Amino acid sequence: MASVTFDKATRLYPGSTKPAVDALDLSVADGEFLVLVGPSGCGKSTSLRMLAGLEEVNEGNILIGDRNVTDVPPKDRDIAMVFQNYALYPHMTVAENMGFALKIAGVNKDERATRVLEAAKLLDLEPYLGRKPKALSGGQRQRVAMGRAIVRQPQVFLMDEPLSNLDAKLRVQTRTQIASLQRRLGVTTVYVTHDQTEALTMGDRIAVLKDGVLQQVGTPRDLYEKPQNVFVAGFIGSPAMNLFEADIVDTGIAFGTAVAEVDRETLGTTSGRKATIGVRPEDLMVSADNRGLPVEVDLVEELGADGYLYGHTDVNGQRVDVVARVDGRNHPNAGDRVFITPEPKHIHVFDVESGLRLSKPITV
Amino acid sequence: MSATTPAVSLPVDDQTKRRLDRGGKSEASTMAGRTKKRLSSRGATLGALVIAVLWTLPTLGLFISSFRPAGLVNTTGWWTIVQNPGFTFDNYVEVLGTGNSQLDLAGAFINSLAITIPATVFPLVIATLAAYAFAWIPFKGKNWLFIGVFALQIVPIQMALIPLLSLFSRGLNIGGVQIFDSLGSAGGYGQVWIAHTIFALPLAIFLLHAFVSEIPGEVIEAARVDGASHGQLFFRIVLPLSMPAIASFAIFQFIWVWNDLLVGLVFADGAAAPMTKLLAEIVGQRGQDWYLLTAGAFISILVPLVVFFSLQRYFVRGLLAGSTKG
C-alpha cells in the first residue's frame, strides 16, 4: 500500500505546444479510491499513463509512497493496471493470464496457483480458469483483467475506463463490485472515467480535469455542493446544473421577475454588474404566484416518482435552456408557460469573467 | 412465398422493404456476412476449382512423365498416356544413382538440408528480433532505418553476387585496416548461409514488422506493467502471437532456398553443392537427358511438401481474438 503524489507533473506531446497534462498537483492517500474525471481529451488517461510509466513525464515528479518513480520503467513501479479494452494475453488461459506477472516476478508454481485461485474465487472466475480469453464474454474478460491486477497485490491499482465496454446493466453491477472490492482490499486506486455518475458513485474523492488542468479535487459531496468553477458545476450532476448570466440588483441577482437573494458579501466580490448564476434542477420550483423566471415548457420527462421539465426562457435577450425537477404526478405540460424560482439557499454564484465560484458553501 | 406471407404494409423505409421482399437477412448487410456470402457463392467456388485444376495440371503432367520410359517421353506427350501406355521406375533409379566426382545424390540431399535449414532459421531469428524492435522499441531514426531496410529489397540478387563473392574471398579491408580475413575458397556452408540470410532479411523484416506491429498496443503495455522486460515481452508475448507470420515466412523461405540454384551455384560449389545443382547436371551436357528431370523434380519436391503440411496448421486465423474487446 502506498500513497500517490503528482508534483507539478506535465506531459507535452512532441509537436504540440499545449501540454496534455499541465502541472498536475494531486495527492492520493494510502488506500484511497480517487477518480479522475473529465470530458474526452482532458488529459485524464494521460495522467494515469504517466503514473503507470507508459507516458513520459516532461516536467515535475511522480511519487509512489516516498519513492520518486518519475524515471522508473513501468515494470519496476509495483503497480497493476486494468485497461479499457482489457488487453488480455490471447494465447494464454485465464489462469496463465492472471499468473503472468507472478511468473515474471519469479514466484514459485505452488504459490502462483494458490494466489490465482484466491483471486478467481473472489471474482467468480473459478470455472473459467482453463479457458482462453476468446471463449469468454465481455463481462468475464473484464473480471479476468481485474483478477490479473488483484493477483499481483500491488501498491496501486490503475484503472482506465474499465467499464466502458460493458452494457449498461452490467456496468452498474460491476461498478458496485469494483468499489466494494477496492474497499475490502484497501489498495490505493486511481480510476479514470468520463462518466460523472461513475465518478460520484465510486470515488472517495474525485479530481475533475479540463484541458489538462486540474479544476477541483474533493469528495463527491464537495463537488456537488460546492463546485469551484462553472466547468465543474456544469460537469458534475445529471441533468446538468442550470447556468446563465444575470444582472445584479440591490438584494441579489435578478431571476426573471423575482430576485434570487444573495448575501452582500458575495455580491461585493463580483466584477461588473453581472454574475453567472447556477441552480441545480432539484433546487428549482414552479412558483405559485407567477413570480420568477418565465419558462416555456418544451418537454416533461417522466421518471415515475418525479419528472424533469425541459424548457427555455429569455434572459436579457439570450435564449437559456432550463431543466427543473417537478413532481411526477402533478406537473405542467409541454406548451405551458410557468414561473420558476430557486431554493434560496441553493444558489451558486460564479464570476462572469473568471468563472470562479463567489458564493460561500451551501449550508444544508 | 407470397402465398404464405400475408400482405401487410410494414412501417419501414423503402430500402428495408426491398430487402425484406428479397428475403435478405440482416446478416447479409454486415461486412462479414457479405464477405462470407461472396466467398461461398457458387461462382466463386467454380472459379477456385478451375484455377486449382489449371495450376495442378503441369504438376500432374510431370508426375505422369516421370513414370514413362525415356523413349516414350521423347516422342509423345504425357496426355497421350492412354494411347501410348508404358510404365517404368527407370527414371527414378537413374536419378537416385546419379552423381559427379565429388558428390552423389544422397550427399546433395544432405547438402540441401544443411543449407536450407540454417538459411531459413537465421533470417527468421534476426528478422523477428528486428521486427519487434522496429514495432515496439522507440529509438531515434527508427523510421529512416526501417525505410532503408525496406529499400534494400530493390537491389537485385544478381548485382550483389560479385561484391559479396569478393568480400568473402578477400575479406573486408577499409582504408588499409583489415576488418576480417577472407573466408577462403568456396567450400563449406558458411558463405551460402550468409548470402541467403542477407538476401532474405529485407522482406522478412518487412513482413514480420507488419504483423508484429498489429499486436494491440494495450497487450504490450499490460505486459510491461506486469513487469516484463523486453526479452520476456519478446519471448512470452510477441513470439507466440506472431507464429502465423513466422510459419508462413518460414515456408516461403524454406521453399525458396530449397529450390534455389543461382546462390547455391555461386557460394556452395563442389562438395557442398545442393541438390538443385546436381539435378541441373543430370540432363547432360547438351540437355539430351531432360526426361530425367521429371523424376528429379519429384524427389526434390518431397521435402518442401512435408514442410508445408507440417507448418500449415499455424496458418490459423483469429489467434488474436479475445485479447481486447470485439
ipTM value for the complex:
0.84
Q: CB–CB of A80 and B223 under 8 A? A: no
CA distance A11 to A58: 5
Query: Which residues of chain B lie closer than 8 angstroms to A136, CB-CB?
Result: 322
B81/B162 same-domain check: no
Q: What pLDDT does residue B19 have?
A: 52
Buried b (16+ CB within 10 A) or exposed e, B230-261: eebbbebbbbebbbbbbbbbbbebbbbbbbbe
Mutate to test the interface with B, among A49, A55, A81, A89 (most CBs of B within 10 A): A89
Is residue B30 in a domain?
no
B265/B118 same-domain check: yes
The pLDDT profile of chain B, 326 residues, written as one tens digit per residue, is 344 444 444 455 555 555 555 544 444 456 666 666 766 788 888 999 999 999 999 989 988 888 888 888 888 888 888 888 888 888 888 888 877 777 888 888 899 999 999 999 999 999 999 999 999 998 999 999 999 998 988 888 899 898 888 888 888 778 777 777 777 665 678 889 999 999 999 999 999 999 999 999 999 999 999 999 999 999 999 999 998 888 888 988 999 999 999 998 888 878 888 988 888 888 777 777 888 888 888 888 888 888 888 877 776 554 455 555 44
Of B240, B241, B323, the CB nearest to A87: B323
User: How is residue B248 written as a grid cell?
Assistant: 508462413
Is residue B243 in a domain?
yes
Tell me how far the alpha carbon of residue B129 is from its chain's centroid. Answer: 19
Residues with Cβ < 8 Å from A35, sequence gap 6 or more? Answer: A191, A192, A193, A198, A199, A202, A203, A205, A206, A207
Using CA coordinates, name the residue in chain B closest to A74. Answer: B225
B234/B196 same-domain check: yes
Residues with Cβ < 8 Å from A209, sequence gap 6 or more? Answer: A24, A36, A37, A38, A42, A43, A44, A47, A215
Mean residue pLDDT across chain A: 90
The pLDDT of A12-21, averaged and rounded, is: 91
Domain that holds residue B175: 96-320
B198 touches chain A (CB under 8 A): no
B239 touches chain A (CB under 8 A): no
Q: CB–CB of A54 and B321 under 8 A? A: no
Domain boundary among B49, B64, B88: B88
B132/B274 same-domain check: yes
Sign of the alpha-carbon dihedral angle for B304, B310, B314, B317 = positive
B134/B258 same-domain check: yes
| AA letter at A226 | K
B232 touches chain A (CB under 8 A): yes
B110/B44 same-domain check: no
Query: Which residues of chain A lie closer than 8 angstroms to B318, CB-CB?
Result: 134
B75/B108 same-domain check: no
Q: How far is CA A162 from CA A190, A195, B41, B164, B319, in A?
A: 12, 12, 41, 56, 23
Domain boundary among B88, B120, B151: B88
Residues with Cβ < 8 Å from A170, sequence gap 6 or more? Answer: A138, A139
Counting the structural domains of chain B, the total is 2
B68/B103 same-domain check: no
User: How is residue A334 written as a grid cell?
Assistant: 409541454
Query: Which residues of chain B lie closer than 8 angstroms to A101, CB-CB?
Result: 226-227
Is residue B1 in a domain?
no
Query: Which residues of chain A lie closer than 8 angstroms to B322, CB-CB?
Result: 88, 90, 132-136, 141
Is residue B73 in a domain?
yes
Is residue B26 in a domain?
no
**Residue whose C-alpha is closest to residue B138's, from A73, A77, A81:** A73
pLDDT, tens digit (0-9, with 9 covering 90-100), for A164-198 = 888 888 899 899 989 999 999 999 999 999 999 99
Q: How many CB pairs under 8 A join A and B?
A: 93
Domain boundary among B47, B70, B88: B88
B67/B200 same-domain check: no
Task: Sort B32 into a burial class: Cβ within 10 Å, 0-12 / 13-18 / 19+.
Answer: exposed
B213/B115 same-domain check: yes
| Cβ–Cβ < 8 Å for B303, B110 | no
Which single residue is written with the C-alpha cell 407567477? A290
3-state DSSP assignment of residue B173: strand
| Cβ–Cβ < 8 Å for A300, A332 | yes
Using CA coordinates, name the residue in chain B closest to A99. Answer: B226
pLDDT, tens digit (0-9, with 9 covering 90-100), for A79-96 = 999 999 999 999 999 999
Query: Which residues of chain A lie closer than 8 angstroms to B140, CB-CB?
Result: none
B180/B252 same-domain check: yes
CATH of the domain at B107: 1.10.3720.10
Q: CB–CB of B323 and A101 under 8 A? A: no
Omega prior to B138 cis, within 30 of 0:
no
| AA letter at A285 | M
3-state DSSP assignment of residue A131: coil
B249/B101 same-domain check: yes
Q: What pLDDT does residue A321 have?
A: 93
- For chain A, which residues lie within 8 Å of any Cβ of chain B, measuring from their own Cβ? 52-54, 73-77, 79-81, 83-91, 100-101, 104-105, 132-136, 138, 141, 148, 152, 158, 165
| Cβ–Cβ < 8 Å for A229, A216 | yes
Is residue B192 in a domain?
yes
Is residue B305 in a domain?
yes
Is residue B43 in a domain?
yes
